[in-house]
């Protein structure tokens, strides 16, 4: 590590002399995925630079003000887990983070930005963060990426990088690099998704300019100036009030004003306003617009949020609530950026659909074997503000089990040494409703950083790095690659269960329990012969008799399949951390996973393609 830091210092000196800087990995966007990518890359001893347009790190979690985490509360791992743990420590425990009812992890945006900055600072010189800096030009030269960037002082600089990661909010770098992409809803015949529309359209999800309100005291009047175009009828059904008309709606609950306001309440008593039901969601597709036109539309979205605040202050009588003066250091006290729920979606080496998540073992290719991030939130789409939202598919929390995201979604089919993260990965419009959420996006960023760092360390292109290499790196970093709830990530057998699950030799079981989307390995269940799905492994042969499998039968079968089981089998069993060595006892699924992992190592022995098919 010391040698690497000295090398970084030398490069910085060289840059001062030549006018061109050199980094191993350049990450454009310091949002939820970008900061995770940068931290992971640097932790692997590889020099990374993050170029971020705002003064803050964290993107949608901080700069956009969406400071309530959606999902993964029981799957906290990797850098996302560290972030959550830091928040809990800062506020006095995880119970303190349950301040709003929409999430088990709520926090104040400026605190989240501080946590991200502190995490990044631990990387030292290996992670260079350029804030308030934008990319002016992207080009390729002699196998490198060359970017022209402009900082807050107006000075332009050239940066040369081996690997480029697009972690922007809208996939702008992928477009600049000539990557093919999709926008809008695909047709059912193109994705195979039963609830997709019959014909493709260009509809994307609503964006939101979040507001964070503060109680200035019972006698305070924080009423803002009446915004242009204000119409209270637009917000009439946002909550129960004299203007609301529940009869006019189809199946939509109209909440009380108190429920609406406490939806995103933060531990410090502020109110995060990101209300989806006739609140401040705003329909606008700015993805392919030039920057000047984007700014015009986003100004209108800001005004729409101000209209909603005016409605809260006047029609709901909450004049004591006003835009917080101690959260965002902006002139208008609003976030730096809007919350983008959808962006470009690249054409990648894998195409992850809702059906692949809902029925992983029945899908046309076994993507789940290549997982690099996990999620457990339902498919959540916001279309209330689209003019024809009633004619769109019903995507309100469509149930799927907890899922993992295949590695190939990060890698464009076109070109090389470009990785795409954040919300611009290769997924269907429907599946974006679950992969767009903050914990998943942070994990995608961490996987991107691991993939980029491995490419640099091994002197290979991104597409030459194996899926299993990235997965093993993530397991070493305390990440899930399979969405199993059975074992915590610090359990001795966690990795073995994750690895065997990723081979399909033993499958998990997806469940929907109320609002909860789950997948279980069923570690304590007895092993049945029907549980074993050798499939592409061992030429389809792992001989076991019908019914429950005993300890002795498992060991003999593993030996017959070429696995290494030492002569002192009982001592080896104990060394593996297993108990109760009785050969005639029925073995558990956990014990089977540990034994197969140790004796045969199918995870490491067989490489796996982006589609999930193994080969020696």
Task: Choose among 34, 64, 62, 69: nearest CA to 50.
Answer: 34
Give residue-wise pLDDT tens across range 504-563: 999 999 998 877 899 999 999 999 999 998 766 644 556 677 899 999 999 998 998 889
Two structure tokens written together for 247: 């009869």
SS3 572: helix
Contacts with 331 (C-beta within 8 Å, 6 or more apart), sequence order: none
CA–CA gap between residue 85 and residue 1 (Å, rounded): 26
DSSP assignment string, 212-244: EEEE--TT---PPPPPTT--GGGGGGGSSSTT-
Q: pLDDT grade, residue 308 (50/70/90)?
A: very high
CA dihedral 173, 178, 179, 180 (to 10 degrees): 130
- Top-level CATH class of 2-185+342-476? alpha beta
Which helix (DSSP H) or strand (DSSP E) does residue 511 occupy?
strand 509-513
Specify the residue for token string 């995490």: 119
Contact of 209 with 301, CB cutoff 8 Å: yes
The pLDDT of residue 334 is 98
Give residue-wise pLDDT tens across range 263-283: 999 999 999 999 998 999 999
Q: pLDDT grade, residue 245 (50/70/90)?
A: confident
The pLDDT of residue 13 is 45
**Domain locations along the chain:** 2-185+342-476, 207-323, 494-615
Residue 16 has pLDDT above 70, yes or no: no
Specify the residue for token string 């279309």: 383
* Mean pLDDT score, 49-64: 98
CA–CA gap between residue 383 and residue 387 (Å, rounded): 9
CA–CA gap between residue 16 and residue 21 (Å, rounded): 8
Residue 395 has pLDDT above 80, yes or no: no
Give residue-wise pLDDT tens across range 369-382: 999 999 999 898 98
CA–CA gap between residue 424 and residue 575 (Å, rounded): 45
The pLDDT of residue 516 is 83
Q: pLDDT grade, residue 15 (50/70/90)?
A: very low
Q: pLDDT grade, residue 10 (50/70/90)?
A: very low
Residue 86 has pLDDT above 90, yes or no: yes
Give residue-wise pLDDT tens across range 313-343: 999 999 999 999 999 999 999 999 999 999 9
Contact of 163 with 452, CB cutoff 8 Å: yes
Two structure tokens written together for 299: 């100004």
The pLDDT of residue 3 is 40
DSSP assignment string, 421-443: -TT-SSB-HHHHHHHTSHHHHHH
Task: Find which of 97-101, 194-198, 600-604 is predicted with most confidence, using mean pLDDT.
Answer: 97-101
Two structure tokens written together for 369: 């074997």
The pLDDT of residue 216 is 98
The pLDDT of residue 385 is 81
Give residue-wise pLDDT tens across range 173-215: 999 999 999 999 999 999 999 889 999 999 999 999 999 999 9
The pLDDT of residue 5 is 44
Contact of 79 with 442, CB cutoff 8 Å: yes
CA–CA gap between residue 406 and residue 351 (Å, rounded): 9
What residues form DSSP beta bridges with 516?
513
Contacts with 587 (C-beta within 8 Å, 6 or more apart), sequence order: 526, 527, 549, 550, 551, 553, 554, 595
Contact of 31 with 59, CB cutoff 8 Å: yes
Give residue-wise pLDDT tens across range 247-256: 655 456 789 9
Contact of 244 with 316, CB cutoff 8 Å: no
Give residue-wise pLDDT tens across range 403-446: 999 999 999 998 889 999 999 999 999 999 999 999 999 999 99
Residue 8 has pLDDT above 70, yes or no: no
Mean pLDDT, the chain, whole residue set: 93
Two structure tokens written together for 591: 């014990």
Q: Give the Å distances, CA to CA, from 195 to 198, 388, 397, 398.
A: 9, 17, 13, 10
* Mean pLDDT score, 34-38: 98
CA–CA gap between residue 498 and residue 496 (Å, rounded): 5
Residue 139 has pLDDT above 70, yes or no: yes
Q: Where are the strands (E) in 156-311, listed by range?
A: 156-166, 181-182, 207-208, 211-215, 271-273, 281-282
Query: What are residue 424's phi and psi, to 5 degrees?
Result: -100, 20
Residue 530 has what DSSP assignment?
Answer: G
Q: Percent of the chain, pLDDT > 70? A: 94
Contact of 208 with 335, CB cutoff 8 Å: no
Task: Choose among 394, 370, 342: nearest CA to 194.
Answer: 394
């Amino acid at each position: 590590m010391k040698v690497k830091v000295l090398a970084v210092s030398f490069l910085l000196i060289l840059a001062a002399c030549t006018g061109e800087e050199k980094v191993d990995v350049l990450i454009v966007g310091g949002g939820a995925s970008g900061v995770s990518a940068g931290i992971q890359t640097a932790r692997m001893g590889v020099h990374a630079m993050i170029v971020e347009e705002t003064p803050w790190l964290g993107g949608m979690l901080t700069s956009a003000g969406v400071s309530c985490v959606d999902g993964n509360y029981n799957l906290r791992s990797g850098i996302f887990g560290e972030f959550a743990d830091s928040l809990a420590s800062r506020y006095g425990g995880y119970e303190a983070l349950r301040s709003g009812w929409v999430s088990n992890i709520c926090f104040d945006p400026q605190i989240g930005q501080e946590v991200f900055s502190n995490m990044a600072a631990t990387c030292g010189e290996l992670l260079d963060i350029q804030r308030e800096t934008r990319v002016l030009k992207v080009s390729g030269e002699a196998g490198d990426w060359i970017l022209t960037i402009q900082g807050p002082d107006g000075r332009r600089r050239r940066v040369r990088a081996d690997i480029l990661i697009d972690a922007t909010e809208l996939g702008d770098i992928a477009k600049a690099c000539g990557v093919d992409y999709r926008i809008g809803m695909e047709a059912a015949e193109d994705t195979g998704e039963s609830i997709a529309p019959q014909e493709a359209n260009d509809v994307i999800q609503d964006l939101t300019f979040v507001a964070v309100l503060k109680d200035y005291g019972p006698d305070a009047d924080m009423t803002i100036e009446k915004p242009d175009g204000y119409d209270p009828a637009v917000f009439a059904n946002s909550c129960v009030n004299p203007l609301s008309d529940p009869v006019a709606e189809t199946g939509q609950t109209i909440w009380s004003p108190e429920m609406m306001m406490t939806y995103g309440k933060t531990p410090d008593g502020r109110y995060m306003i990101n209300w989806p039901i006739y609140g401040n969601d705003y329909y606008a597709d700015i993805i392919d617009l030039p920057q000047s036109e984007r700014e015009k539309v986003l100004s209108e979205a800001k005004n729409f949020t101000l209209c909603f605040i005016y409605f809260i202050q006047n029609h709901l009588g909450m004049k004591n609530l006003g835009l917080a003066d101690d959260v965002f250091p902006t002139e208008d006290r609003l976030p730096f950026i809007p919350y983008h729920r959808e962006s470009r979606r690249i054409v990648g080496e894998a195409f992850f659909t809702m059906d692949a998540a809902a029925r992983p073992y029945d899908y046309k290719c076994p993507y789940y074997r290549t997982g690099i991030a996990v999620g457990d939130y339902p498919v959540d789409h916001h279309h209330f503000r689209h003019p024809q939202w009633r004619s769109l598919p019903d995507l309100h929390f469509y149930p799927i089990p907890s899922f993992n995201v295949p590695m190939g979604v990060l890698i464009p089919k076109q070109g090389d040494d470009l990785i795409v993260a954040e919300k611009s990965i290769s997924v269907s419009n429907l599946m974006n409703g679950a992969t767009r959420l903050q914990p998943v996006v942070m994990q995608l960023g961490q996987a991107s950083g691991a993939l980029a760092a491995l490419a640099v360390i091994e002197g290979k292109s991104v597409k030459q790095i194996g899926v299993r290499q990235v997965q093993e790196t993530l397991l070493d970093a305390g990440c899930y690659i399979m969405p199993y709830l059975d074992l915590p990530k610090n359990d001795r057998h966690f990795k073995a269960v994750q690895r065997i699950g990723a081979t399909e030799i033993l499958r998990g079981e997806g469940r929907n329990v109320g609002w909860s989307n789950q997948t279980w390995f069923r570690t304590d269940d007895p092993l049945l012969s029907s549980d074993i799905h050798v499939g592409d492994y061992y030429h389809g042969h792992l001989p076991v008799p019908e019914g429950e499998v005993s300890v002795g039968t498992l060991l003999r079968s593993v030996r017959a399949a070429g696995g290494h089981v030492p002569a002192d089998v009982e001592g080896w069993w104990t060394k593996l951390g297993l108990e109760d060595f009785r050969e005639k006892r029925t073995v558990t699924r956990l014990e089977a996973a540990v034994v197969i992992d140790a004796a045969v190592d199918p995870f490491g022995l067989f490489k796996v393609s982006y589609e999930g098919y193994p080969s020696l």
